[in-house]
Amino acid sequence: MIIISLLVSIVPMFGGGPAWAVSAGSRWGADYFPNISLVTQDGKTVRFYDDLIKDKVVAINFIFTHCSDSCPAETASLRQVQKELGDRAGRDVFFYSISIDPEHDTPAVLKEYSQRFRAGPGWTFLTGNKADITLLRKKLGLYNKDESGQVTSNHSISLIVGNEATGKWIKRSPFDEPETLVRLLGYSLQQHAYRTNPGAMRYDKAPRLPELSRGEDLYRSRCDSCHSLGAEGGLGPGLSGVTEKREHAWLARWLKEPDQMLAEKDSVAMQLFDKYNEVPMPNLRLSDADVEALIAYMAGSAGHAEDVMTTNDEGGAGH
């Protein structure tokens, strides 16, 4: 009996032991993560497990800086999450954006990219060896099989958030409402907060999510990180009155393929681009129905978002 139990406890020490030995622990145990070397935008070499995730609450995504569609939108929405977490970013929560095109994305290129998006403290951009990064993506379940080694914009547009100490990991879309991510990273994943203040996250105290129209839902998850519905600009222009200012056809095409219109040097698009030259508006791969829903939403709410909420509340009985 003694011999058998000794054997069982020793086997996992021979790294990469049989599957049954691994399954005794968490799938996300320390042994699971490749402890690869990565280089930060400031040229510092760090280890993925030891320096970046051990004992931390983290959000990790994969990007490449010359990606024109999903990545800028992802980066902009993460920026909003980071802003909302305020000084907790870099203290309680750490953000990592890792390049899937490390040959092109040198530390200097990443630094310039992070500045363009005005990424704040607690957010590190990383590059490294391509094979290592691919392995990491596979291990994190953020590798898209169709890529076959190509850097494409259909790379997995997912984000993984987790707490290494508790082994709790959740795959999210960066297009989740920033609020949802703020709540996950700032509260649900912070195990200690739970313990010291058990009433804080009571189910019956959870705020009720308003019922959203398709247009509002899309707007909040895809557009809000760069635009406001008022006059003031963010990474992109304020959208107050835009449905009156622009022809419907122009607007619809712009939402559908801004990259194409910029490539064709459409005059309105170029004027806007000159003014907001840090980031181009990304092609968000919207369907025609999505585009119409968004235009209807912008027409109804630009400049007076509060009214929409009230209408929703009153309209509850109609559903």
**Distant-in-sequence, close-in-space partners of 145: CB < 8 Å, separation ≥ 6:** none
Rounded to whole angstroms, the Cα distance separating 118 from 124 reads 12
Residue 168: name the closest of 194, 143, 202 by CA: 194
Q: Report which of 4, 185, 198 is spatially closest to residue 96, judged by C-alpha positions.
A: 185
Letter for the amino acid at 307? D
Nearer to ligand HEC by C-beta: 63 or 73?
Answer: 73
- Of the candidate spans 132-140, 172-180, 189-197, 230-238, the one that interacts with ligand HEC by CB under 6 A turns out to be 230-238
One of 161, 255, 293, 302 touching ligand HEC (CB under 6 A):
255
Q: Which x/- pattern over 206-225 shows residues binding ligand HEC (rule: CB under 6 A)?
A: ------------x---xx-x
Rank residues 163 and 283 by Cβ distance to ligand HEC and give the closer one: 283
Q: Is 79 in the site for ligand HEC (CB under 6 A)?
A: no
161: contact with ligand HEC by CB under 6 A: no
Q: Can residue 194 be called a binding residue for ligand HEC (CB under 6 A)?
A: no
Structure tokens at 203: 């189910």
Within residues 273-312, the interface with ligand HEC by CB under 6 A covers 273, 276, 279-282, 284, 294
Can you tell me the distance from the alpha carbon of 134 to that of 151, in angstroms, rounded to the nearest whole number? 11
Instruction: Determine contact, residues 199/225, Cβ cutoff 8 Å.
Output: no
Which of 39, 53, 76, 140 binds ligand HEC (CB under 6 A)? It is: 76
Q: Apex CA 191: angle with CA 188 and CA 192, to 5°? A: 125
The span from the CA of 174 to the CA of 255, in Å, is: 19
Nearest approach, Cβ of residue 267 and ligand HEC (Å): 12
Minimum distance from CB of 67 to ligand HEC (Å)? 11
Residues 155, 158, 159, 165, Cα dihedral to 10°: -100
Find where tokens 């990443």 sit: 110
110 binds ligand HEC (CB under 6 A): no
Is position 143 an interface residue for ligand HEC (rule: CB under 6 A)? no
Residue 246 interacts with ligand HEC (CB under 6 A)? yes
Tokens 């980071």 correspond to what residue?
Answer: 82
Among 157, 272, 293, 302, binds ligand HEC (CB under 6 A): 272
Interface with ligand HEC (CB under 6 A), residue total 28
- What are the residues binding ligand HEC (CB under 6 A)? 72-73, 76, 218, 222-223, 225-227, 235-237, 239, 242, 246, 251, 254-255, 258, 272-273, 276, 279-282, 284, 294
